[in-house]
Structure 1
């Protein structure tokens, strides 16, 4: 979309987003919440901090339940809002008796958000600081320190130019998180909160490839044969860390072994076993006329040559 005449308020927002200081990601969730509210209500003039708090909680829920990214520059001091989100995630898991991650939008009605606590944090740390860039106060909204609401200036413009603002926020958020985390694919993990669903591709196309190296269906996790059931296809390094499906990270397991593993990071012994499996699988694919010219074989060879298993494992542990 082209925007030939960008209003001054958009320029001010972009300046704040790009140049504001960020010891954590609060300001970015704050900005995103305001923009989203304006998209939903382009005629709005007053936004309550409670509305913003609910959006901020949603963003942190979705990033935390899937990826548990560090959101501040001090790993020993988790931001209060993130701590509150983690408490609610654990409460949800205990209720569901499952640790399968889920988007907040699907369970919103079941989560009791302590908005008062979040609002208090936003009041003290974000609301009045956000418009400051190099000690200059930019007129992105009107707000008196300590109040429970702010006045937006031209919500319609914020809604119209939301595509530009979202891109700027996501880019800045990615940059900030990259200083706190060494996990791979940070940008994708930031963009997850823009979508109500995560579409995961079926893993069945990988089954014939895994059969080449493991025709007897030995479970990668427990080492026992898989009988009387269809082998599950498991991500050794959990999907939530990599956000992708790659043959070098997929193995056969029992359905129960797969379920019990949850999102735990594998041990070094498992990584060594996966590395050996990949070498063996690659050797067999290279002599199999059905696969040695296919993309999946080239991808596995690249993974082995570049030591993807260990590099991604080390990154996910950091």
Structure 2
């Protein structure tokens, strides 16, 4: 099973795409699943795939923040049961439901609306139990091919070929994960109306106001694309569409006038705008907290841009 492992080494010699697809096929279609933990964890891995260091290390705090956000939005916001038995809720489901009662949080709130101190308290509880139940289990289901880990040291090192694979096939793998998660939830929840839509949106924030404030303070009040000022409220736009990255990172945000934002829609901007985004991020890195740019590099942004276009996202001129 692997769930009770304290550490796991990375298997060598399994770096081909065929090897990785075989492990994913087992994970999606043959591995034993009693809760939604592994699907939520895989979604968090995918959200953090551009947050790995050059050596492949991934931050436990970033990883479990996103895991908690996903799970909170499933459990509290959508009130979906996460276990295959109605007689006992999963440990992490219990942590989140108890936290919602303790802090008197409205059930329609998404995780990012909670006060930061409350968020961090909940994340630490989830991380403690996620380390115990999730990391080893996912490691076992993928046969040690995806990452090495050490729970005590809180290290998780991704296989670099797997990182590149997940970047290359991110759209497809994300959709597969959402589909399998929705199928599981439909079995154990009476209300499965628009289940896939709900699963696809669990990573969305309630508000991007934090990023609007940072961008307006440090980059000005003009549209990133057309350069014009407007009396209308500028939109906070995902440069690479959210539909692809499904993650909110300051280095992927720009301010756009309503006209440009509407015309861009679900496309990637032309290459000259990518050059402008490099310049904006270089400026922001000197002005904001370092954690906003954890593991960021222009090379990673360029790679993300290229993979988005190869995944079918059209270019907006």
- TM-score, normalising length from structure 1? 0.52
Matched, 1:77 2:88: yes
Q: Which has the larger radius of gyration?
A: 1
CA contact (8 A) 1:35 1:158 kept: yes
1:152 aligned to which of 144, 150, 158? 158
1:192 aligned to which of 182, 198, 201? 201
Structure 1 match to 2:181: 173
- For residues 59 and 203 of structure 2, the distance between their equivalents in structure 1, rounded to whole angstroms, comes to 22
Structure 2 match to 1:63: 74
Structure 2 match to 1:183: 191
Structure 1 match to 2:143: 137
Structure 1 match to 2:130: 122
Q: Deviations over 1:243-270 (max 9, x none)?
A: xxxxxxxxxxxxxxxxxxxxxxxxxxxx
2:108 aligned to which of 87, 98, 101? 101
- For residues 145 and 42 of structure 1, the distance between their equivalents in structure 2, rounded to whole angstroms, comes to 18
1:26 aligned to which of 29, 37, 59? 37
- For residues 43 and 159 of structure 1, the distance between their equivalents in structure 2, rounded to whole angstroms, comes to 14
Shift of 1:14: 4.8
CA contact (8 A) 2:80 2:189 kept: yes
Q: Deviations over 1:225-246 (max 9, x none)?
A: xxxxxxxxxxxxxxxxxxxxxx
Structure 2 match to 1:45: 56
Quote the RMSD (CA, aligned, Å). Answer: 2.8
Name stretches of at least 5 consecutive residues in structure 1 with no aligned partner: 199-318
- Inter-CA distance 50–18: structure 2 relative to 1 (3 Å threshold): farther
- For residues 26 and 127 of structure 2, the distance between their equivalents in structure 1, rounded to whole angstroms, comes to 25
Name stretches of at least 5 consecutive residues in structure 2 with no aligned partner: 1-15, 208-317
- For residues 48 and 41 of structure 1, the distance between their equivalents in structure 2, rounded to whole angstroms, comes to 8
CA contact (8 A) 1:81 1:118 kept: yes
Shift of 1:23: 0.3
- For residues 139 and 151 of structure 2, the distance between their equivalents in structure 1, rounded to whole angstroms, comes to 12
Shift of 1:183: 1.1
- TM-score, normalising length from structure 2? 0.52
Structure 1 residue matching 2:136: 3-state secondary structure: coil
Q: Deviations over 1:293-315 (max 9, x none)?
A: xxxxxxxxxxxxxxxxxxxxxxx
- Inter-CA distance 52–128: structure 2 relative to 1 (3 Å threshold): same
